[in-house]
Amino acid sequence: MIGFRKHRYLKGESGYLGNVRDLLFKAWICCEQRNRGLTMATRTQILVRGIVQGVGFRPYILSLARNRDLRGSVLNNETGVLIDVEGEEDEIERFVADLPINPPPLSNIESFTRTDNLPIRSFRDFQILPSVASGPKFIPISADISTCEDCSRPGKWTESAIISAKRLLD
């Protein structure tokens, strides 16, 4: 340890910052933790809006998160896709920066909002969770690229199948 006397303090813009020895020790601990990969985790929630449901967006998020060694979950909700991510702050920043770079071809990110510094939940890994629906729904849907051969086959769709599909969509 560096030998500073206890009565030596540093003064900052907002007053005294504390004992010099304690401050240097805290800085040293922080550097050691970062070098050993023991830095503090943080948690962020990101709500992505746009054409992000039914286009492979959740598996895309899962892949991005696992590549960055982040933990948490992703799910569809009534307004878009909700990402709850936990890990190193710099990795979360890179994750957020990567979101719009190479999304699934049919997706279209219109906007996203984020909430930082949430209480840590200590997720074990990153998972895709089932969709949640509670509240008013507004979800843009991507138009199909084209109808597949099987669906365009004559006689494929009977009257009862069309009625059943309409009920599911209502």
Catalytic residues: 58, 76
Residues paired with residue 18 on neighbouring β-strands, in sequence order: 10
Token couple for 163? 């009625």
* HSE value, Cβ hemisphere, 13 Å, CA-based, for 112: 21
Determine the Cα–Cα distance for residues 83 and 75; give it in Å rounded to an integer.
7
DSSP string, 29-64: HHHHHHHTT-PPEEEEEEEEEEE-SSSSHHHHHHHH
Angle at which helix 57-67 crosses helix 89-98, to 10 degrees, equals 140
